Amino acid sequence: MLRKITDSIYYINATESPLSADVGIVEGKEYCWIYDVGCSEEACQALAGIKKDKAVVLSHFHPDHIGNLSRVSCSKLYCGDNTYKYIHTGEIVDRNIVMEDGVSIHLFKIPSSHAKGSIGMEVNGEYAFWGDAAYCTTKSGKRVYNAQLLLEQIRLLEGLSAKYILLSHEEEFVTEKDKLLEMLYSRYVKRDAKSPFIDVE
């Protein structure tokens, strides 16, 4: 079931069983822009029902975000360099890419502890799809952030025009950028100068 954010931005809700990411849908003039394709049957069927030509953007390589890729037809595919290693297709986003399609689409790299090669998609300078990039990773059984990557992500967020960030797997998909920054800052201040990692336990 599609959930509406604006007149041109929708999403398919994430699920726990099977684990499937939120899928963003942006209605452009020529393309329907899809951010992540999930891995659930519900997401696959919803995407199959879209008749307009599709441009797919993959946030990162984890299966709950890309599992349906082989079942989704698209004319354009964008991904990060690390995701490309898994899927062997698409255009690698290695710089800022801005496209106009009745909506403004801005693709960019996100420094992330959660997944190397994460990609974000900003729409009309107001909303930014963020995938799982804000989340930590697990190292030696502990939930941690890479301190340098976290700082780089904070700086990126600070310079982003978008007022709202769309975070996959969250109960509230749309969050204010300032609230996300506050959360990330609260993690960053826990850093220890002697360690490259920040323990968030």
As a whole number, the mean pLDDT across the chain is 96
pTM of the model: 0.96
Closest to 1 (Cα-Cα) out of 38, 53, 52: 38
| Helix locations, the chain, DSSP H | 41-48, 63-66, 81-87, 147-159, 177-188
Domain architecture of the chain: domains with CATH: 2-190 (3.60.15.10)
Neighbour count for residue 142 (Cβ, 10 Å): 12
Supply the pLDDT for residue 69.
97
pLDDT digit string, tens, across residues 74-90: 999 999 999 999 999 99
Element (DSSP H or E) covering residue 44: helix 41-48
| 115 secondary structure, DSSP code | S
pLDDT digit string, tens, across residues 18-31: 999 999 999 999 99
What are the pLDDT tens digits along the chain (201 aa)? 789 999 999 999 999 999 999 999 999 999 999 999 999 999 999 999 999 999 999 999 999 999 999 999 999 999 999 999 999 999 999 999 999 999 999 999 999 999 999 999 999 999 999 999 999 999 989 999 999 999 999 999 999 999 999 999 999 999 999 999 999 999 999 999 899 999 987
Supply the pLDDT for residue 201.
78
Supply the pLDDT for residue 1.
74
> Which residues, in sequence order, are bridge partners of residue 100?
104
